[in-house]
A = this chain, B = another copy of it.
């Protein structure tokens, strides 16, 4: 048996409902935008189109308000919970993907002026600083109900470290694109990983 393999977005929806109890699409949207989007983002419209499909598969149940906004509230079924557990238990088959226009543009920046590279780097410092801040904020809220959330903060700590690394890297590029390229060129066939030159964690607060 087993359901015909769901999309990742569908699994995310199931997980959120398994995790936080019955929710409306809007509540899901809120949580996902704040907490999950760091690692898997998608537009809110899918939160309205996917749950009905999951209902048809018997993985969710829908209750609808009679009055006012006629909100739909979705609840995970036993069968849905089993699907979630099975999915979590199997190691991922697809490789992790990064889609980072900043890194992509840097890669091809040999045809750019150094000044353009510097602008790029500065914009990325902003972007990653903001990401670090919003992730930290989301994690701070996860203070409540510590037993249930177990690994949320564990992954969050990785996220913070990763954003910190990005900020340090782009600062380095912004400071001097040419020197930075030069440093990377040394060593011939062996390339050293980037190491922040300053002690970590000087990302300014809110």
Q: Which residues of A contact B (CB under 8 A)?
A: 8, 12, 15, 18-19, 36, 38-41, 81, 84-85, 87-89, 91-113, 116-117, 119-120, 123-124, 127-128, 131, 136, 139-140, 143, 146, 148-162, 164-166, 169, 173, 177, 180-181, 183-185, 188-195, 200-201
> What are 10 contact pairs spanning A and B, CB under 8 A?
A15-B107, A40-B104, A96-B99, A106-B155, A107-B152, A109-B150, A140-B191, A154-B181, A160-B193, A193-B201
Complex copy number for this chain: 2
Q: Is the CB of B153 within 8 A of A181?
A: yes
Q: Which residues of B have CB within 8 Å of A119?
A: 89, 91
Q: Which residues of B have CB within 8 Å of A15?
A: 107-108
Question: Would you give the shortest CB distance from A86 to chain B, in whole angstroms?
Answer: 10
Q: Is the CB of B36 within 8 A of A107?
A: yes
Q: Which residues of B have CB within 8 Å of A104?
A: 8, 12, 36, 39-40
Residue of B96, B120, B155, B189 touching A101 (CB-CB under 8 A): B96
Q: Which residues of B have CB within 8 Å of A194?
A: 157-158, 160-161
Q: Which residues of B have CB within 8 Å of A124?
A: 91-92
Residue of B41, B153, B159, B181 touching A150 (CB-CB under 8 A): B181
Residue of B97, B106, B107, B117 touching A100 (CB-CB under 8 A): B97
Whole-angstrom CA separation of A101 from B18 in the bound complex: 17
Q: Is the CB of A107 within 8 A of B184?
A: no
Whole-angstrom CA separation of A84 from B136 in the bound complex: 36
Task: Output the nearest chain B residue to A108 by Cβ-Cβ distance.
Answer: B15
Instruction: Pick from A85, A103, A151, A195 the residue with the most CB of B within 10 Å.
Output: A151
Q: Is the CB of A111 within 8 A of B92?
A: no
